[in-house]
Chains A and B, each alone.
Chain A
Amino acid sequence: MIELQGLTKTYAGKDVVKDVSLRIESGEFGVLIGPSGCGKSTTLRMINRLIPLTQGRIFLGEEDVTELPAEQLRRRIGYAIQSTGLFPHWTVAENIAVVPGLLKWDKSRTSQRVDELLNLFHLDAGEFRDKYPHQLSGGQAQRVGVARALAADPEVLLMDEPFGAVDPLTRDVLQNEMLRVHQQTGKTIVFVTHDMDEALKLASRIAILNAGRLVQYDRPIELLTQPADDFVRSFIGKADLGLKLLSRRWVHQYQQPARVLEHPASFDNDAASAAYGWEVDAQGRALCLHGGRLHADENEQRTQVTHEWTATPDMTMKEALSRMVWFRVMVLPVLDDKERLVGEVAMQGVMGHEPSKQQALGQE
């Protein structure tokens, strides 16, 4: 748990951060977001006192750490930045071992921890330990940067736009990996970004800052459904608000039992009807869809189920809808991890059915 109380930063008589108070519970993924110059980075850097605070108090757990010597505090807080800041003259292993080294861990424990972290990020320890930063790709370097920040098992992990400088494809992979690592380690994370989609994807709580002030601090779904003021509304972006909302909804919330055909051979698709059904094999795997095309006049009656147009229960509805549109079908098969048909999610469902608030929040 980390709590900020009345954090204020004044430069030359001007408040860049003004009275920011927020509390991020243990294991939460908190995101600070806002337009450039809103003070989000300054706030983050005040937490590990890279920028000294003008006013306010910081609590780590129940402990007031405002007066703790900065170096001691920083060794208890992980820190990852956009350009990774890896030390170019040290190997990956030496980079990860920095904070354990500062805390005087013994060699075998440090070495074990390095391997553990490389494994956590799916980097082969044998291959990567002795590489130098310039031998890494952007994505690999960023993973090592985060691994280094986690090295001494810090109470909190601070991340300052860590994925801002990588290409969109890598960013997506790193975000998924970050979600997984967050789930596996249960770390409290404070993450700064200016990208709303990234925030919605990662955050369990989002703090929106504007001109140095905290405007709203809420769960993503509440931010989308109950924006505090016009600034928040415009910052989220009105144009694709509906789609953003769907990015916080999951397939399992909309999932219906699949209509499995007992006798697929006798299925007769009447062009005018919207009837459809699934053909499955003996193991319960979906083979093909009869009917169910977006346009009734399409010639194809049977559509082979392929990997691309299926859904999983933990897929966002935004992605599921996107797949329906792309593959021109009204319904997607929902498969479990053994590719068995466990349900279906249909386009009408997205429009007609609104999951109860409780159900939506339960996921958060």
Chain B
Amino acid sequence: MMRAMTLRAPTQTRTWLLITLSILLVVLVLFMEELKPLFEWVFPDLRSPLYDRESFLQLTLDHLLLVLVSSIISVSVGVGAGLFVTRRNGREFEPLVSSLAAIGQTFPPAAVLAIVVPLAGFGFIPTIVALTLYGLLPVVQNTIAGLGTVPATTLEAARGTGMSRTQVLLRVELPLAMRVIIAGVRVSVIINIGTATIGSTVGAQSLGTPIIAGLVGNNIAYVIQGAVLVGLLAIVTDLFFERLERRFSVGG
């Protein structure tokens, strides 16, 4: 909802931006090694100007795996919960779930990640748990909000034409709420890409690993390599979701 107004730039420019940046991302992931002379030239003092403990392709895949697994869980649980609390049986839980989602999002993602460690240990699993928990909140919130924007008259008209509850949900409510729900997924995924980066501090390998290694070892080249890739990844993902949102926007 709140991102709607960022959509004003000409569609074509954005499409080209998406294509260009995607290609740039893929090329950098695959051929970062080829840029070694460039980094050597810029940082002549560094002994090893290219992060080589792991390939950038592997780091990117690890990062994507973290985000993908957690996002799939958060979206399915989040949309499910949003649906449950907007049906007749679950409506009682709606105020509590809504305020929980709102309060939960005031928790800093990095702190949530940290607080999961004592409960789930170090590594891949706690990062997934933290990303999933945090990613749930915008999805739940936007699912409730999106379904809430469907006008009561539309629902009444749908029921009036003799649709069953399931038909009303699948053919009227979800299509009308889809843009807002996708906006929630977009927020969730973008936050998760960022938090997965910090995941490298709790032992989950990701594109954050070279950044942390660089910061710890005072190697700015490592920092730049990780940061550029993860920044590009986030922006490409955001542009992609923007397109997706636009495709699902009804009547506009």
Direct contact of A and B (CB under 8 A): no
Binding site for A on B (CB under 8 A): none
Binding site for B on A (CB under 8 A): none
